[in-house]
Amino acid sequence: MREFFAEALVLDCKMQGEADKRVFLYAKNFGKIMGKVKSARKIKSKLSPNLQILNFVSAKIIERGGFQIIDALKEGNLAMSQKNIKAVELINDLTEVGETDLDLWKIIISGKLEIKKILESLGFGVKYASCFNCENKKIKFFSSKDLCFYCENCVNYERFQEKIYLI
């Protein structure tokens, strides 16, 4: 068993089963972490409000098979805007657990979560990209489902559902 602290942004937080929560963090030193919070629904749980999406936290984590978040202090937060929510969704879609990326962390702590910047830091250059379908240079969307860019005419909301990002 290993115990460590992580300075991190909460990317996502969902109930898992009756009482537990599954939380995705993006941490400065560890990259993406998927951690469990046990009995998150209990009244006594002081962790839950701190582990809201877009919060910056200092998290105490133990590794025992998987990761378990045993404490989390809120250190700040990014504005709860649609733009920021989409940005952290994109980060969660495109990053793998355990891959650190200091450039991405710098974007996160700058507080300016622009889809374009996030894509570029993760190797999806926007500048020379063209629509996957028609090769139009006027790209407007990125889909994390097939990792392709699309122009306004070729974007298919039905197919990609929420996995589509306005650049």
**Minimum distance of Zn ion from residue 112's CB (angstroms):** 28
**What residues line the site for Zn ion (CB under 5 A)?**
131, 133-134, 136, 151, 154
Residue with tokens 């700040």: 76
Q: For residues 148 and 151, which CB has a smaller minimum distance to Zn ion in the complex?
A: 151
**Minimum distance of Zn ion from residue 116's CB (angstroms):** 18
Q: For residues 60 and 163, which CB has a smaller minimum distance to Zn ion in the complex?
A: 163
Quick one: tokens of 166?
Answer: 């306005």
Contact 81, 107 (CB under 8 A): no
- Cα 147 to Cα 126: distance, rounded to the nearest angstrom: 12
**Minimum distance of Zn ion from residue 167's CB (angstroms):** 13
Q: For residues 81 and 156, which CB has a smaller minimum distance to Zn ion in the complex?
A: 156
* β-sheet with 139-143: strand ranges across: 148-151, 139-143, 164-166
